[in-house]
Amino acid sequence: MYKFSTKGKANDAVFEETFDYAELELSLTNIKEILGSNSDFNHRQIFIANNKHLEVSFIYIDGMVNSQLISDYVIKPLMQADQFEKCKCEADVINLIDEGTVYFSGIKKRTNINDVMSDILTGSATVLFEKCSLAFTFETKGFDKRPVSEPASENVLKGAKDAFNETLRVNTATCRRKIKSPNLVIEEITVGRQTKTAIAVCYMKNIANDNLVKELKKRLENLSVDNILTSGYLEEAIIDDKASAFPQIQYTERPDRFCTSVLDGRVGLIIDGLPIAYIAPGTLLQFVQAPEDYSQHFLISSTIRYMRFTSLFVTLLLPSFYISITTFHQEMIPTELTFSIVAAKQGVPFPMFVEVLLMLIAFELLVEAGLRLPQTIGQTVSIVGALVVGQAAVEAKLLSPATVIIVATTAITSFTMPNQDLSNALRFWRFGLAIASSIIGMYGLTVGLFILVYQWCRMDSFGIPYLSPFIGDEEIQLQDSLFRLPFSTMKHRPNSLHAKNKRLMK
Amino acid sequence: MKRVLLIFFLFSQFIILTGCSQLMRNRTEIDRIFNTRIIGIDKLEENKILFTITTKAGATNSQNSQEGAKASEILVTEGATVFEASRNMQQYAHKKPHYGHTEFVLFGEDTAKEGILPYLDFISRNLEFRYNAKIYIIRGDKANSFISRVNTGNLFLADKLSLMEDNAYAQSKTSKVTLSEALYIYSKKNVSTFLPVITIAPTMVGESQSEGNYDLIFKDYAIFRKDKLEDYLGDELSIGVNFVTNRIQSGIILIDAKDKKKVSMEIIESKTSIKPYMDENGLKCTINVKFNTNVAETLSKQDIFTEDGFQFLEHQQEAQVKKEIEKVLSYAQEKNMDFFGILTKFRIKYPMMKDELDEKWNELFPEIKFEVKVDSNVNRTYLIKDAATTQ
């Protein structure tokens, strides 16, 4: 069952479209009216084949076009090609361009000022035939691009080292290079009233479920935001459960991971201007899986993945469990450990809950400070914060060493999460569970955990249960869940995706 | 918003309806509780109870962990019941007693003679106690006196007891009896039991006693008629009890070789099964013991590591073990005290007759015909064929 909420749909009366000039005539005056005040707006008059009677306007945005390309392949043929010498009027020139006299692959014929504006603003050079109210736009994009580099947040040990960058076309080309199949469909949808950001919807037409593709496209088309300059706008608008802190679509900066998901039957989104791509739908399992799981021997991968699952619960529950057993259920602690904790706690003025809370907040502040500062200073902050201040706090009896160890273990285990969004959600819930534990101990922790599991159970992403394959009739995918069994056992695509072609291998 | 309110409402109901308010009252910081490791219970003459608890000093007060300070902290109080005594302690104790880490429950000899069941009631009701705590009887002394006298060295008494009971398996003259085992036995009708004994003896330095220092001896069982101490078994009968109740972990069997020289056999494994049955002549019980030994030491000048020699050793050790078992069985029948749990075996085998067995067990037990079958095997000679004495 697919759900789509129309809540929060933009009120057209308030958010008026600011990019609609359809009523204006396609003329240089109008274009100048719209863009003329910009310093990077350029226009010049050129004469076709040096014929003073055939004057056309040449328009472009400086810095967004490749000047060399314009000079050699647009202006030069228009002014020097022999074929244009016989032209008497603009209509003859238009006919010749239509017939391919100008050797240029990315050429579009436009009669609408809206289309012309859109092309100019995306880096095309425009030749305007004012008398005929017609323009040709040449795709001469020439702005600087960041080269394809290694992923910054998803480290690769064994695997492709390329990562997505900010240029949509480079990213789609990277995918094409990895999936050389005519079934790979890359459709573009423009979103953002002001930014007109292109979003590429990628899927395998012989595998992906049509309903899933249709639903995703529908949500994108209904998206009514001003800009898609950051990922949050898109993410928040297309997920099902907006109140949940847990991620419901997966992001990646690795094209190999993206392509694997597309081949599984999921739908990918590549956004122009963002070096990450999204994969929908997202389930909890996906956020705990790492691409390296499929690069190593299955025994190693299974062990590491199981350890990662354990880490998920450790980072979520350890502080609250520690508060519970040291404040309410002291009999649960091994005797010798009790005496060690008590010895370490001597002289510390704060209750255990306050100690843990202070440490958790300090840890969050350190993470935040490390993110905001330049990389080199960031490391210094970590060292000063964690080692110097931490040790000083213990020596000054503000905190007990046992609490420091607990919070440090929590922090380390949180870093094993392959997905930062999942890690952030766990951080949020960790605080909630710690507070519940401080009120009624293990009972509070159990109730908190019950609410969390309830939320997981009721969540779905594009109709697929969030806890899939652990719930429902998904025995097929269990080979790739808590453990990663050999590839020879994974003969089918995930059942929950309802792919057209379920069989992955013979 | 409605959902959030609903969850909040449910959460509040969880707390209110389940009596969690009591749980919230029990919120105590870990450094503000007295983590009891040993409990001593003694009965005083005026129908009062002397209740003693002790813990490691460093764990309760950092100032006490200084060098030369006492290793332990002891709290003593009196009361009409154990619970009252426990609560009375809070009149003067700086920390709330907590029993979650109680490892040892000690009863003085006099208290044990008058019955220990009334005191176990508090322990079984209090949810803090761990059921794997061990029970010991202090022979010839009060538990309070024992704790005060012995708890003087650098090593805390509970740590010492814990280390010693782990080593006590070597002779099989005692074993651990946990709180859960004791409570189970005491819940049965017509059943006696045994509890391990700790004896205190002055430390000997040369031939004289070291003043103020005491050694602990872990051996022997105290047998209980219902919950009252009846007698101490002594070494030989205690080993017999361990064989019958399948509690042998290791041990020594001292036997004679053909030349009457001593050979020490080390028990490395033992298994006992009790098979009760009844026929027209009454109740019968077969006790099958199978054990393995190694040759630990030989003083014999003969070559005992031959086929005949091994058979002789096996026969000798089987005879000795059989003698020990028969002796303890006959002692138990003579006293009419079933501290092996034979009644339970019959109840399991003949569930339809359990009420009749319960009712007439005191008449039936002394009449049971026991048949003891012992089978043994000598496993290893440690590759030394010739005894050192033959060279």
By C-alpha distance, the chain B residue nearest A436 is: B11
Please state the rounded mean pLDDT for residues A487-492: 84
The closest of B175, B176, B173, B194 to B185, measured between CA atoms, is: B194
User: Cβ atoms within 10 A of the Cβ of A93, count?
Assistant: 25
Measured CA to CA, the distance from residue B253 to residue B289 in angstroms comes to 15
For residue A7, name the pLDDT band (cuts at 50, 70, 90): very low
CB contact under 8 A, B14 and A447: yes
Measured CA to CA, the distance from residue A149 to residue A161 in angstroms comes to 8
Q: Which residue did the predictor score with more confidence, B300 or A110?
A: A110
Q: Where are the alpha helices (DSSP H) in chain B?
A: 2-17, 20-25, 82-88, 109-114, 117-125, 143-150, 157-167, 179-186, 234-244, 307-335, 342-349, 354-364
For residue A1, name the pLDDT band (cuts at 50, 70, 90): very low
CB contact under 8 A, B37 and A451: no
Specify the pLDDT at position B22. Answer: 59
By C-alpha distance, the chain A residue nearest B7 is: A451
Total-model pTM: 0.80
Specify the pLDDT at position A15. Answer: 41
Helix (H, G, I), strand (E, B) or coil at B297: strand
Measured CA to CA, the distance from residue A287 to residue A153 in angstroms comes to 14
pLDDT tens for B326-382 read 999 999 999 999 989 899 899 999 999 988 998 899 899 999 999 999 999 998 766
Distance of CA A60 to the CA centre of its chain: 31
Q: In the predicted model, what is the mean pLDDT of chain B?
A: 85
Please state the rounded mean pLDDT for residues A419-442: 92
Specify the pLDDT at position A12. Answer: 43
Asked if residues A407 and A360 have their Cβ atoms less than 8 Å apart, the reply is yes
CB contact under 8 A, A351 and B29: yes
Residue B63 has pLDDT above 50, yes or no: no
User: Cβ atoms within 10 A of the Cβ of B100, count?
Assistant: 19
CB contact under 8 A, B100 and A447: no
Measured CA to CA, the distance from residue A138 to residue A120 in angstroms comes to 9
For residue A3, name the pLDDT band (cuts at 50, 70, 90): very low
By C-alpha distance, the chain B residue nearest A335 is: B101
Specify the pLDDT at position B64. Answer: 44
Q: In this structure, what token pair is assigned to residue B188?
A: 């049965």
- Torsion, CA A311, CA A313, CA A317, CA A318, rounded to 10: -30
Residue A473 per-residue DSSP state: S
Q: Which domains does chain B have, with CATH numbers?
A: 29-232 (no CATH), 235-391 (3.30.300.210)
Residue A44 per-residue DSSP state: E
CB contact under 8 A, B23 and A440: yes
Percentage, residues of chain A above pLDDT 90: 33
Backbone angles phi, psi at A148, to 5 degrees: -65, 125
CB contact under 8 A, B59 and A351: no
Residue A2 has pLDDT above 80, yes or no: no
Residue B61 has pLDDT above 70, yes or no: no
Specify the pLDDT at position B20. Answer: 57
Measured CA to CA, the distance from residue A382 to residue A180 in angstroms comes to 45
pLDDT tens for A356-406 read 999 999 888 888 887 787 777 777 777 777 777 878 888 888 889 999 999
Q: In this structure, what token pair is assigned to residue A85?
A: 């010498």
ipTM: 0.80
Asked if residues A491 and A503 have their Cβ atoms less than 8 Å apart, the reply is yes
Across the interface, of A327, A341, A443, the residue whose CB is closest to B28 is A327
Interface test with B, best of A321, A350, A440, A449 (most B CBs within 10 A): A440
Measured CA to CA, the distance from residue A340 to residue B23 in angstroms comes to 25
Give the DSSP H or E segment for A109: strand A107-110
Helix (H, G, I), strand (E, B) or coil at A34: helix
Q: CA–CA distance from A153 to each of A150, A254, B88 (Å)?
A: 9, 10, 62
Taking contacts as CB-CB distances below 8 angstroms, the residues of chain A near B100 are 330-332
Asked if residues A293 and A195 have their Cβ atoms less than 8 Å apart, the reply is no
For residue A9, name the pLDDT band (cuts at 50, 70, 90): very low
Specify the pLDDT at position B112. Answer: 92
Specify the pLDDT at position B39. Answer: 94
Please state the rounded mean pLDDT for residues A319-341: 92
Shortest Cα distance from B24 to chain A (angstroms)?
5
Segment among A155-164, A308-317, B30-39 with least mean pLDDT:
A155-164
Give the CA radius of gyration of chain B.
26
For residue B388, name the pLDDT band (cuts at 50, 70, 90): low
Kindly give the interhelix angle for A168-178 and A255-264, rounded to the nearest 10 degrees.
Answer: 60
How much of chain B is helix, strand and coil, in % rounded to 5? 40, 35, 30
Residue B89 has pLDDT above 80, yes or no: yes
DSSP string, B301-362: SS---SHHHHHHHHHHHHHHHHHHHHHHHHHHHHHT---S-HHHHHHHH-GGGHHHHHHHHH
Shortest Cα distance from A437 to chain B (angstroms)?
10
Shortest Cα distance from A119 to chain B (angstroms)?
46
Across the interface, of A326, A335, A439, the residue whose CB is closest to B101 is A335
Residue B65 has pLDDT above 60, yes or no: no
Count of A-B CB contacts under 8 Å: 73
Domain boundaries, chain A: 28-139, 168-282, 297-464
- Residue B356 CA neighbour count, 13 Å, CB half: 6
Q: Which residue did the predictor score with more confidence, B381 or A69?
A: A69
Measured CA to CA, the distance from residue B228 to residue B119 in angstroms comes to 12
CB contact under 8 A, A441 and B23: yes
Give the CA radius of gyration of chain A.
29
Taking contacts as CB-CB distances below 8 angstroms, the residues of chain A near B35 are 330, 335, 338-339, 342
Helix (H, G, I), strand (E, B) or coil at A437: helix
Taking contacts as CB-CB distances below 8 angstroms, the residues of chain A near B60 are 342
CB contact under 8 A, B128 and A331: yes
Percentage, residues of chain B above pLDDT 90: 42
Residue A11 has pLDDT above 60, yes or no: no
Specify the pLDDT at position A6. Answer: 40
For residue A5, name the pLDDT band (cuts at 50, 70, 90): very low
Percentage, residues of chain A above pLDDT 70: 95
CB contact under 8 A, A443 and B11: no
DSSP string, A229-281: SSHHHHHHHH-S-TT-SS-SSEEES-HHHHHHHHHHT-EEEEETT-S-EEEES
Specify the pLDDT at position B152. Answer: 72
Tokens 């945005």 sit at which residue? A61
CB contact under 8 A, A441 and B14: no
Q: Where are the alpha helices (DSSP H) in A36-156?
A: 67-70, 76-80, 90-99, 113-121
Q: In this structure, what token pair is assigned to residue B179?
A: 């709180």
Residue A453 has pLDDT above 60, yes or no: yes
Interface test with A, best of B16, B31, B61, B163 (most A CBs within 10 A): B31
